[in-house]
Amino acid sequence: MFIDSHCHLDFPELLAERESVLALMRANQVSHALTISTTLKSFPAVRAVAEANANMWCSAGVHPDEQVDDHEPTVEELLEMAAHPKVVAIGETGLDYYRLVEPLDWQRERFRIHIRAAKACGKPLVIHTRNAQADTLRLMQEEGAAEVGGVMHCFTESQAIADAAMAMNFYISFSGIVTFKNAKELKEVAKAVPLERMLIETDSPYLAPMPYRGKRNQPGYVKHVAEHIAELRGISVEDVAKATTANFFRLFAGAKA
């Protein structure tokens, strides 16, 4: 059994295909999924997906790139969202200097607010980082993110960044990117990260793994991420499934199988 630790099932392209998405999960032995919040506005829809499916949970948070809400989230607001029993994590949050340019003080402040909320409710963080390694680690350190831990999702950084995050109690989650031919350095990281620190995800509807690259992604495809990691490490896919599933339930303690 595989678990997709990060997907966006409230996005229209997946919501519209609900039944076939669930059917492929079953066919590919993807037993559970964590659907991730990206805006305050869309949170009720994210939560509704988790409420409608016994094998799904959700997070509460605002993506670092998102600017559709009419105000910045407050710690109190995030705590209110996170109080729901189906909410097992805070995020996705973090820093993204790829799509947006400075001044990004608001983005760093938003990240700090999420870390404070996570510490206040004791739920782990789902962290997104792109072109912002140094600041991401610095803010995690300054705000004491290690106290709750979490996951560096859709990991594309170096081994040094993975090590720094693991030292702060974080798991490393690999997406379909690890299956891409040109992701040479990332494949090395996927070989080196201890199995007991690893999660797998799709980040669907984006980033479909090989052999579906360029197509609409979905949670059922997380199986291909696991297969590729197993191949890289020279172990069985069952071992990858077993470890990443156990890790999921250890990290997201609010999720019960």
Residues that bind Zn ion (CB under 5 A): 36, 128, 203
Work out how close the CB of 6 gets to Zn ion at its nearest, in angstroms, rounded to a whole number. 6
Work out how close the CB of 234 gets to Zn ion at its nearest, in angstroms, rounded to a whole number. 29
Within a 10 A sphere around the Cβ of 212, how many other Cβ atoms? 15
Q: Measured from the CB atom, is 62 or 113 closer to Zn ion?
A: 62
**Where in the chain does DSSP place strands (E)?**
2-7, 30-35, 56-60, 87-96, 125-130, 150-152, 170-174, 198-200
What is the C-alpha separation between 136 and 139, in angstroms, rounded? 5
What is the C-alpha separation between 42 and 92, in angstroms, rounded? 13
Q: Measured from the CB atom, is 36 or 82 closer to Zn ion?
A: 36
DSSP for 78-94, please give it: HHHHHTSTTEEEEEEEE
Work out how close the CB of 197 gets to Zn ion at its nearest, in angstroms, rounded to a whole number. 19
Q: Measured from the CB atom, is 128 or 224 closer to Zn ion?
A: 128
Work out how close the CB of 93 gets to Zn ion at its nearest, in angstroms, rounded to a whole number. 9
Pseudo-torsion of CA 18, 56, 118, 152, nearest 10°?
-70
Q: Measured from the CB atom, is 123 or 239 closer to Zn ion?
A: 123
Residue nearest to Zn ion (CB): 128
What is the C-alpha separation between 256 and 41, in angstroms, rounded? 27
Q: Measured from the CB atom, is 65 or 239 closer to Zn ion?
A: 65
What is the C-alpha separation between 123 and 19, in angstroms, rounded? 30
Work out how close the CB of 239 gets to Zn ion at its nearest, in angstroms, rounded to a whole number. 26
